[in-house]
Structure 1
Amino acid sequence: MKNLKLLLAGTVAALTFAGAAAHAERGTDGDLKILFWQAVSTMNPYLSGGTKEVYASSMVIEPLARYDEKGGLVPMLVTEIPTVENGGVAKDLLSMTWKIKPGVKWSDGTPFTADDVIFTWKYCIAPDGGCAQAAQYEGVKSVEAPDPQTIKITFTEPKPYPYSAFVGAQSPVIQKKQFENCVGAKAPGCTSANFGPIGTGPFVVKEFKPNDVITLTANTNYRDAAKPAFATVTLKGGGDAASAARAVLETGEYDYAWNMQVEPEILAKMVAAGKGKLETAFGTQVERINLNHYNADPSLGAKRSTKDAGPHPSLSDPAVRRALSLAIDRDIIVEAGYGAAGKATCNIVPAPAAVASTKNDSWCLKQDLAAANKLLDDAGWKKGPDGIRAKNGVKLSYLYSTSTNSVRQATQELVKDMWSQIGVGAELRNASASVFFGGDPASPDTFQKFYADVEMYTNNFDGTDPEKYLAEWLCDKVPGPANGWQGQNIPRYCNPAYDKLLGELSKTAELDKRATLAKQLNDMLTEEGAHIPLVHRGSVSSHSLKLAGVKMNAWDSELWNVADWSRTK
């Protein structure tokens, strides 16, 4: 029990929300102008795993609790964080109880109750619903309401780390009244609700133009009568990272711009204009290349990149997967595209320090072309007249996809050149970020569809405990037609031994043992080539020097405390 107390205490760093000083009056600071160069495609994060959707919707719909800028849990819609000490977590670890704050209302003025929380769970676990955040509810047996202000979550087995369901920006509560006819296969078709969810957050959607612009207004029913300071928010999407940075740092046209994935020397020149500043925080973001374990051949039609397509003809070879990683010089990629905002990594879980492994560093962190070539030689992949290796009529030539961004396209070119030095070819392709991360089940270009051999992007997890994130690589989380292409296991990796080890992590309370298991799971993913981790990325965004209250958060939504933002005079 001592170790369990340490685990919970380490996470529950704050039991009361310490925001900025209360504003004199709601809505006195006019319009807050935000730029997301990756345009938002929906305001329902349960239908998209994209960070842009999670962040944008966090201004409107909220979880019961979230993580602050230091990684500590803070209550949002509840009175306190449940622990064993305060009786909120059962001593047998099979259940936990949340108490809703008195008087919390939805933006339409109706009461926020436990029924909404229960419904949210049912919405995400519904068959054929394609819930993009299903891993957040892994191990939840039931969600009940002893009374309208109380939520009891029961787990299928003892849950040493219970802070997953309804915690963090990836697991917000949605209103039962608005979404009750949008469950299961009906979910994607509820356009009005998905584009304009009723929430408890500081802002309300006034108008949503998918992949373009969102207009929001202050929530008149927000629980703090003095907040938010801004009357409206205009969240503009599209363009590119460099133009978004310029609009804040040089022209001052916008107040805040998210995700400054721009070459460091360009950013430095923009900051010199004196209108804005950069905010950087290292959390759990990793730029990675996913390797498709299923056959992605276009000739397979509807079977493409599904289990029915069968194993990938060359990436199913462990020697090929290992060689692709060995051929990459991560230090060059960091230097060229990230500077001080990046670190070479071989981990998909790079932080916090207690769970960051070093096991794979010895073979993967530094480029080794000789070792990569030998692996392929020994595995029988021979170079042809064109310099591309092949075996049994199968060529090592890959469609390499990512989102449109200058840093990513530069990385693609670097990787293509590195792979060419071991006899591997690459056709480079990129798609608009709003489409690539959009989650539209009808689009062939989403990262979930993975209609390519390899694809590159960044992802991360809320908070400091990696259990729910590592659950994304379970065999039953593979995207496909049956789940609306919304599973989180993008590389289609499936290893029963991994699933079993994840189950052991979910039952373990001791801090040291949890860290050991998390490292082992992380190491399996890298060693077995589910993906190729490249860069541990710092979250870098920009904001006007006149924007106050910003607390850069790498553990939750960057807009987590937007209710506390204000404009200096």
Structure 2
Amino acid sequence: MKNLKLLLAGTVAALALGGTAAQAERGTDGDLKILFWQAVSTMNPYLSGGTKEVYASSMVIEPLARYDEKGELVPTLVTEIPTLENGGVAQDLLSMTWKIKPDVKWSDGTPFTAEDAIFTWKYCTAPDGGCAQAAQYEGVKSVEAPDPQTIKITFTEPKPYPYSAFVGAQSPIIQKKQFENCVGAKAPGCTDANFKPVGTGPFVVKDFKPNDVITLTANENYRDPAKPAFASVTLKGGGDAASAARAVLETGEYDYAWNMQVEPEVLATMMKAGKGTLVTAFGTQVERINLNHYNADPALGAKRSTKEAGPHPSLSDPAVRRALSLAIDRDIIDEAGYGEAGKPTCNIVPGPPAYASTKNDSWCLKQDIEGANKLLEDAGWKKGPDGIRAKDGVRLSFLYTTSTNSVRQATQELVKAMWAEIGVDAELRNASASVFFGGDPASPDTFQKFYADVEMYTNNFDGTDPEKYLAEWLCDKVPGPENGWQGQNIPRYCNPEYDKLVNELSKTADISKREELAKQLNDMLTEEGAHIPLIYRGQISSHSVTLEGVKMNAWDSELWNVADWSRKK
């Protein structure tokens, strides 16, 4: 129990979100111009696992608690963080209780109550709902309202780390009144609600143009009457990372631009204009190549990349998966595309440091072309006249897709050349980020559909504890038609032993044991080739030198404290 108390006490900091620069009354600083080169497709993060949707919506809809820039839990819509010490977490670890702050209102002026939390849980766990954030509610047995200001969460079994449901930008609360007719299969069709959610955050959506522009205005019912300082926000989407960086750093047209995935030397040149600055924070973000464990042959039609398609004809071979990783020189990729904002990695959980494994570094971090070739040769994959390896009529030729971005396309070219050295061919494709990360179940080009053999992108998790993130690779989290293609297990990896270990982690209180289990799970994913981790990425964005109050946050939404932003006077 001592270790459990240390875990719960050390994870939280029950501090109210405070402002930074002194602010005048609400709305005195005009329009805040934000640029996302990956355009936003919805303001409902439960229908898209894309970071851009999570970040944009965080200005409007909020969780009960979020993580600050230090990775500590802070109350947002509640009076304090529940712990064993304050009685908010039950001694048997089977329940926790949150107390809502007095007089919290939705942007339409109606009271925010525990019923909204109950509804949100039901919304995300509804059959056929295709909730992209289902892992956040893993192990929740019930959500109840002892009174309108109290939320009681009961777990199916003791939950040593209970901070998941309604915590962080990926798990906000949505209004029951607005979404009650949008449950289950009806969820994607509720356009008005998904584009213009009623929220408790500092801003309200005035106009939403999918994959283009979002116009927001200050929430007149926001709980702090002096905030936000900005009267409105214009969030423009589209373009590319370099043009987004230029719009802040060189021309000063925008106040903030997210995700500066731009070559280091290009950013250095832009900085000389003196219009903006770069902000970076290392959290849990990893650029990775997912390997499809299901057959992605287009000839399979609607069955492709589903369980019905069967195992992938070549990537189901562990030797092939290992050889693809061995052939990659991560140092070159890091130098070419990331510089100081990246570090080569073999982990899918790269941080915090206590959770970062080193087990696979000896074979994974350094390129080994000779070893990769031997591995394939010994497994029976022989080179043909064209130099491409094949076995039993199956060629090692892969469709390799990612989002459109100069750094990613350069990485594709580098990886293609490295794989060619071991007799593996790659056809390179890319799709607009707004489509690739959009989560539209009707689109064939989303990362969830995974209509390719391998695909590359970055992902991360809220907060500092990886339990709910590691649960994304459970066998029942595979995307497919039955869940609206919103399952989080993108590689279609399935190992019952992995599932058992995740279950053990969910029951473990001892901090050192949790760290050990998390490392084991991380190592299984790398060793068994669920994916190929490439670069531990720092989150790097840019903002105008006239913008104050920005606290770069790698543990939650980068816009987590946008209510505190103001214009330098």
TM-score, normalization by structure 1: 1.00
Report what 1:551 is aligned to: 551
In 1, distance between residues paired with 2:88 and 2:324?
48
Deviation of 1:25 after TM superposition, in Å, equals 0.5
1:470 counterpart SS class: helix
* Alignment pair present for 1:313 and 2:313: yes
Partner of 2:220 in structure 1?
220
Deviation at 1:21, TM superposition (A): 4.7
Q: In structure 1, how many angstroms separate the alpha carbons of the residues matched to 2:112 and 2:22?
A: 23
Q: Provide the residue aligned with 1:27 in structure 2.
A: 27
> Who is 1:236 aligned against?
236
SS of residue in 2 equivalent to 1:56: helix
Q: Which deviations, in whole Å up to 9, do the C-alpha atoms of 1:78-131 show, x marking residues without a partner?
A: 000000000000011000000000000000000000000000000000000000
3-state SS of 1:80 partner? coil
Q: 2 CA distance for matches of 1:128 and 1:342?
A: 38
- The more displaced of 5-14 and 540-549 is 5-14
Amino acid at match of 1:547: L
Question: Structure 1 residue 13: deviation in Å?
Answer: 2.8
Q: Which residue of 2 is the match for residue 438 of structure 1?
A: 438
Cross-structure match for 2:36: 36
Map of 1:104 onto structure 2: 104
Aligned-pair CA distance for 1:22: 5.2
CA distance, structure 1, for counterparts of residue 523 and residue 14 of structure 2: 32
Match in the other structure for 2:342: 342
> What's the counterpart of residue 80 of structure 1?
80
**1:108 alignment partner, SS class:** coil
| Equivalent residues of 2:21, 2:548 under 8 A apart | no
Counterpart secondary structure, 2:374: helix
Deviation at 1:317, TM superposition (A): 0.1
Q: Which residue is 2:12 aligned to?
A: 12
* Cross-structure match for 1:176: 176
In the alignment, structure 1 residue 117 sits paired with structure 2 residue 140 = no
The offset of 1:377, in angstroms, is 0.3
Q: Where does residue 501 of structure 1 map in the other structure? A: 501
After TM superposition, give the deviation of residue 10 of structure 1 in Å: 1.8
Q: Which aligned pairs between 1:27-426 and structure 2 lie closer than 5 A? A: 27-426=27-426
8 Å CA contact 1:69, 1:552 repeated in 2: yes
- Residue identity in the other structure for 1:245: A
- Report deviation, 1:184: 0.1
Could you say which residue in structure 1 is the equivalent of 2:450? 450
Contact kept, 8 Å, 2:248 with 2:543, in 1: the verdict is yes
SS of residue in 2 equivalent to 1:8: helix
Q: Distance in 1 between matches of 2:242 and 2:144?
A: 48
Identity %: 89
- Separation in 1 of the partners of 2:518 and 2:112? 36
Map 1:478-517; keep pairs closer than 5 Å.
478-517=478-517
User: In the alignment, which residue of structure 2 is the partner of 1:533?
Assistant: 533
Q: Which amino acid aligns with 1:401?
A: T
- Which amino acid in 1 is paired with 2:430? N
Q: Do the aligned residues in 2 keep the contact of 1:22 with 1:227 (CA within 8 Å)?
A: no
Report the CA distance between 1:5 and its aligned residue: 1.2
SS of the residue corresponding to residue 136 of structure 1 reads helix
User: What is the rounded CA distance, in whole Å, between the counterparts of 1:11 and 1:433 in structure 2?
Assistant: 34
Contact 2:276–2:542 (8 Å) recurs in 1: yes
Per-residue CA shift, 1:220-241, capped at 9, x if unaligned?
0000000000000000000000
Counterpart residue type for residue 507 of structure 2: K
Cα distance, 1:19 vs. partner?
Answer: 2.7
SS in 1 for 2:430: strand
CA shift for structure 1 position 17: 2.2
**Are the aligned partners of 2:14 and 2:80 in contact in 1 as well (CA < 8 Å)?**
no
- Distance in 1, matches of 2:549 and 2:247, equals 20
Give TM-score scaled by structure 2 length.
1.00
Letter paired with 2:564: D
* Secondary structure of 1:141 counterpart: strand
Q: Name the SS of the counterpart of 1:376 in structure 2.
A: helix
What is the one-letter code of the residue matched to 2:190? C
Q: Is the 8 A contact 1:248 1:542 kept in 2?
A: yes
Q: Return the alpha-carbon distance in structure 2 between the equivalents of residues 355 and 11 of structure 1.
A: 14
SS across alignment from 1:152: strand
Please, which runs of 5 or more residues in structure 2 have no aligned partner? none
Q: From the superposition, tell whether residues 22 and 104 of structure 1 become closer, same or farther in structure 2 (CA, over 3 Å).
A: farther
Residue pair 2:21, 2:566 contacting (<8 A) in 1 also: no
Partners of 1:22 and 1:226 within 8 A in 2: no
Give the drift of 1:62: 0.1
Whether the 8 Å CA contact 2:477–2:489 is kept in 1: the answer is yes
Mapped to 2, the partners of 1:139 and 1:217 lie a distance apart of: 37
Distance in 2 separating the partners of 1:209 and 1:545? 29
Give per-residue Cα distances to partners, 1:282-322, cap 9 Å, x unaligned: 00000000000000000000000000000000000000000
> Aligned with 2:166: secondary structure?
coil
8 Å contact from structure 2 (residues 21, 549) kept in 1: no
**Aligned partners of 1:282 and 1:539 also within 8 Å:** yes
Aligned residues: 569
How far is the alpha carbon of 1:18 from its aligned partner? 2.8
Amino acid of the residue matched to residue 497 of structure 1?
E
Paired AA for residue 431 in structure 2: A
Aligned to 1:522: 522
Say whether the 8 Å CA contact 2:287–2:456 is kept in structure 1.
yes
Counterpart CA distance in 2 for 1:394 and 1:24 is 67
Rounded Cα–Cα distance in structure 2 between residues aligned with 1:83 and 1:16: 16
3-state secondary structure, aligned to 2:274? coil
Give the unaligned 5+ runs of structure 1.
Answer: none
Q: For 1:47 and 1:333, how far apart are their aligned partners in 2?
A: 32
Q: CA deviation at 1:24?
A: 1.4
Q: 1:223 corresponds to which letter in structure 2?
A: R
Contact preservation (8 Å) 1:546, 1:568:
yes
Post-superposition shift, 1:15?
3.0
- The Cα shift of 1:8 comes to 1.1
CA contact (8 A) 1:256 1:541 kept: yes
* Residue aligned with 1:525, SS: helix
**Contact 2:30–2:232, Cα closer than 8 Å, also in 1:** yes
Distance in 1, Cα, partners of 2:47 & 2:386: 43
